[in-house]
Structure 1
Amino acid sequence: MASEVSIRAAEELLICDQQRYRVYQINGQKHVKLLDPDQFPEPMSEVFASNLPRDLSVETLFVFFLRCGKIFEVRLLMDYSGSNRGKCFVRYMRVEASRRAVCCLDNEPITGDHRVAVNLSMDNTQLILKRIPACVPDDWLRAVIWEAMGEGLVNISMKPSRIPFSKYCFCTFVDHQFAMRAHRKVWPFIHLGPVVSISVNWAVPKLLRHKTNLYFTNFPLTVTKQELFDLFTAKINVKTLLEFRIDNAYGVITFINFHSMRHAMTAFANITIGGLRMRFRSEPFLINPTDPSTES
């Protein structure tokens, strides 16, 4: 797809296949955003990329991710020297494009042999505060939390912990931006007096709390990740797939929950590629291919 795209940068404007993008920088991020007020991205359509070359141009970055679908916005993290920090967010117009990027662009070279890590980006709105002494009154703790990071905070949910004499809580914010500001403000601890500190971290996003893996093998080693992605998503709802990885002759697909994984196992039952019938199971395959326990 990239070879069909005419792309050029002119001052603060980037033009890609007759689509116009505004290029601007604010708060340590360089933005490349679609200039079309009538187009909006689908929810959960953003990916996070790291291990980028520090001298990577916006044009090269844009073309690399454009291979997976139409882009709404790129946010490249910058440092004070003017070079990028090796990280960026890419928001696509459609969820399918974000899943394709995670599955097909992760560990792929962007320039020369420089390989990029690509993961699904979550608009996480929750922080988790752990190892709170159980003796701390809930009302007083809520007051401390509100004072420390109250802007955008909409709910504080207390939970009993498996650790004796302790509890934890979830802090939910209006959106990811408010949660990010609160995390930056109080991380790594909120202090409850001179001797007690409670840890502050990002909560695991709700979408990932029940994720389930499906393992596969018996496919031609010449098959590409793009071909496998198209094969899988032709039989399942792409929104239930979070990612898949391949390590030599074995792979693993991650789904949003157990039900989606079981549905995929049934849908994939008779997949044949390159004359080989693929095998799927809910447990990892043993590396030794002669071991009978690797059979489905």
Structure 2
Amino acid sequence: MAEGNGEISYDEVAGKDSDVGRTEDYHKLIEYGLDPKVAAKLDDIYKTGKLAHAELDERALDALKEFPSDGALSVLGQFLDSNLEHVSNKSAFLCGVMKTYRQKSRAGVPGAPALTPTVQVKGPDEEKIKQILARTGYTLDVTTGQRKYGGPPPGWEGGTPGAGCEVFCGKIPKDMYEDELIPLFERCGTIWDLRLMMDPMTGANRGYAFVTFTTRDATQRAVHELDNHEIKPGKTLRIKISVPNLRLFVGNIPKSKGKEEILEEFGKLTAGLVEVIIYSSPDDKKKNRGFCFLEYESHKAASLAKRRLGTGRIKQVWGCDIIVDWADPQEEPDEQTMSKVKVLYVRNLTQDITEEALKEEFEHYGNVERVKKIKDYAFVHFDDRDCAVKAMQELDGKDLGGSRLEVSLAKPPSDKKKKEEILRARERRMMQMIHGRSGFDWCGCSPPHAMRGRTPQQAPRPQHARPDYDYDYDYYGYGDYRGGYNEPFYRYDEFYFDYAGPPQPSAVRQPPNRPQPDDELGLGANSLYYDLTGGTQVPTQLNYSKLLI
């Protein structure tokens, strides 16, 4: 073993007199199966009072037992050097240190065994933190991944703050801590908790935090007063209302499964599942579209479910390799914007319902300027908002052509650039997920063409390809359609898989720039998605069924 950092003494201790002066806990560690040098190091840490044997659970001890002795000694060295004053779960903290060690080792970081950041990171002002904790009666809990300051406030009699009470704070200087952030956010109202995200690889913060207030008014004040606030010369914060994501997208499920079957199956595999959302074709209500959305009681429950289903041991459900990702939340327009909408969004339409039939049905409630049908949904434009609202109230849930209509006010588009970034990020995640799993079972469906022997770079890009369509996604937005608004495109880009069977040979051979008869967007049943981020061309079979959730 290399000398230095005081570790040479443990080589000596591990000799014939290794048990001299050792406590009973040392013998427990030896019996558990730990290397004598590692057991001796832990026993010395026990003697400092920074850690007690009872504070280590089996998970931490098992992880230490699996580590090479040199690595375990380095991990324990950093643990001993860490400030553990605000660490409530020291066993979890030690596991975090071990995880960071593995990450650095895999990345080939020079000096990984020592686990010391290349740049010394300035820590918080401990005296200020103690004053804040004494003043508020709150606690500070530190892990390798975050520093959580929180209450509830002393004497609090209400419940946990609900939706709309949390803000996301970005662009935080990497050397800033809660001793400076708490007084800033306290100007806006009573803080429920503040979570500063930390990078265990460097010891610095990740540049963002989440702050929960006890009231929504305080949240609104924080956005109004602190967004673009100059926290340091040349450094401005970005403050946005945070919406917790409770929903997961699960793709590649059998199309024969119904809502209750899906709820029962995933309810057995994950905790906190409260709702399942599936979509069926109006022309075949017995089948789902090969995917579903799982909604959980909290973001934490959804996050644990994603980890269990996506990266854990459960990778097959009903014999299919499932794909799990976060469902991108749809931004809700404000009330002022929605108060001007005169366009209705009508979904769940069968193929035989025409634009003329829709116009005739909706004109009973006022003058309809135009109707645009795209696949199984349509937009109905009224010239008067009151007439549109009346039609929505009367026709929502009504049967038309054997299908139950779903009618709502159409929502104007969100920021196009932001939506395109979401699409590209999701496309990359999905491709990495699928390519990273050999022997992927497509549950009776065909994979995208690029996964069947043809690399993305080999695929030609047809003239009709559109950059804003994802591969094999069912778009639960409203598609590219010019509506009656000032925005250049009346669209929603929240797209998701529609797992379809193999494309028919006739469809594959069809000339690339000849649209299918029912293709309102002029793309054809088979086309290519062009990834603008890197110029890669991913051949796909596109399906234009639209979803709204």
Structure 2 counterpart of 1:70: 190
Contact 2:165 2:216 in 1 (8 A): yes
Query: What is the CA distance between 1:47 and its match in structure 2?
Result: 0.8
Which residue does 1:29 correspond to in 2? Answer: 146
Whole-Å Cα distance in 2 between the matches of residues 138 and 125 of structure 1?
A: 18
Q: What is the match of residue 201 of structure 1? A: 326
Preserved CA contact (<8 Å) 2:247 2:296? yes
What residue in structure 2 maps to residue 159 of structure 1?
279
**Contact conserved, 1:42 with 1:93, CA < 8 A, in 2?**
yes
Match of 1:90 among 206, 211, 216: 211
1:54 is the counterpart of 2:174:
yes
> Larger Rg: 1 or 2?
2
Please say if 1:79 is aligned against 2:199: yes
Matched, 1:19 2:136: yes
Q: CA deviation at 1:74?
A: 0.7
Deviations along 1:89-125, one digit per CA (max 9) or x if unpaired, are 1011211111122233223222221122222122332
2:167–2:211 Cα contact (<8 Å) kept: yes
Match of 1:171 in 2: 294
Q: What's the TM-score, normalizing by structure 2?
A: 0.33
Judge conservation of contact 2:175–2:205 (CA < 8 Å) in 1. Answer: yes
2:227 paired with 1:106: yes
Matched letter for residue 166 of structure 1: R
Matches for 1:203-218 after TM superposition, within 5 Å: 203-204=328-329, 208-209=331-332, 211=334, 214=337
The 5 A counterparts of 1:228-247 are none
Question: Match for residue 122 of structure 2?
Answer: none
Find the residue that maps to 1:107 and give its secondary structure.
coil
Q: Cα offset for 1:55?
A: 0.8
Amino acid at match of 1:198: I
Secondary structure at the residue paired with 2:278? strand
**In structure 2, how many angstroms separate the alpha carbons of the residues matched to 1:11 and 1:67?**
17
Aligned partner of 2:280: which letter?
P
Q: 1:201 to 1:101 in 2, by over 3 A?
A: same
Deviates more, 1:127-136 or 1:113-122: 127-136
Taking the aligned partners of 2:265 and 2:161, their CA distance within structure 1 comes to 37
Partners of 1:64 and 1:110 within 8 A in 2 = no
Alpha-carbon deviation of 1:153? 1.7
CA distance in 1, matches of 2:321, 2:147: 40
**Separation (CA, whole Å) in 2 of partners of 1:175 and 1:145:** 16
Once the 2 structures are TM-superposed, how far is the Cα of residue 141 of structure 1 from its aligned partner?
A: 4.8
Q: Using a 3 Å threshold, how does the CA distance of structure 1 residues 123 and 195 change in structure 2: closer, same or farther?
A: closer
Contact 1:129-1:199 within 8 A present in 2 as well: yes
**For residues 133-148 of structure 1, what are the structure 2 equivalents within 5 Å?**
134-135=255-256, 141-142=262-263, 145-146=266-267, 148=269
User: Partners of 1:285 and 1:138 in 2: how far apart?
Assistant: 37
| Matched-pair contact (CA < 8 Å) for 1:13–1:22 | no
Name the SS for the 1:13 alignment partner.
helix
Please give the per-residue CA displacement for 1:134-163, whole angstroms capped at 9, x wherever unaligned: 355666655653455x1222332322269x
Counterparts of 1:257-268 in structure 2, within 5 Å, are: none
Q: Distance in 2 between matches of 1:67 and 1:285?
A: 37
Distance 1:18 1:196, change over 3 A: closer
Between Structure 1 and Structure 2, which shows a larger proportion of helix residues?
Answer: 2
Seen in structure 2, the aligned counterparts of structure 1 residues 284 and 100 have a Cα distance that, compared at 3 Å, is: farther
Q: Residue 192 and residue 212 in structure 1: after superposition, are their counterparts in 2 closer, same or farther (change >3 A)?
A: farther
Using the aligned pairs only, state the percent identity.
24
8 Å CA contact 1:106–1:119 kept in 2: the answer is: yes
Higher strand share: 1
User: Residue type matched to 1:181 in 2?
Assistant: L
Change over 3 Å in CA distance of 1:32–1:147 after alignment to 2: same
Supply the RMSD in Å over aligned alpha carbons.
4.0
Does the residue aligned with 1:124 lie in a helix, a strand or coil? Answer: coil
TM-score normalized by structure 1?
Answer: 0.56
Give the CA deviation at 1:70. Answer: 2.1
Matched, 1:38 2:179: no
Q: Give the secondary structure class of the aligned counterpart of 1:15.
A: helix
Counterpart-to-counterpart distance in 1, 2:134 and 2:233: 25
Q: How many residues align?
A: 212
Q: Kindly report structure 1 stretches of 4+ aligned residues shifted beyond 4 Å.
A: 130-133, 135-144, 187-197, 208-215, 282-286
What are structure 2's unaligned runs of at least 5 residues? 1-124, 339-407, 410-483, 489-549
Give me the whole-angstrom Cα distance separating, in 2, the residues matched to 1:56 and 1:161: 52
In the other structure, the counterpart of 1:182 is: 305
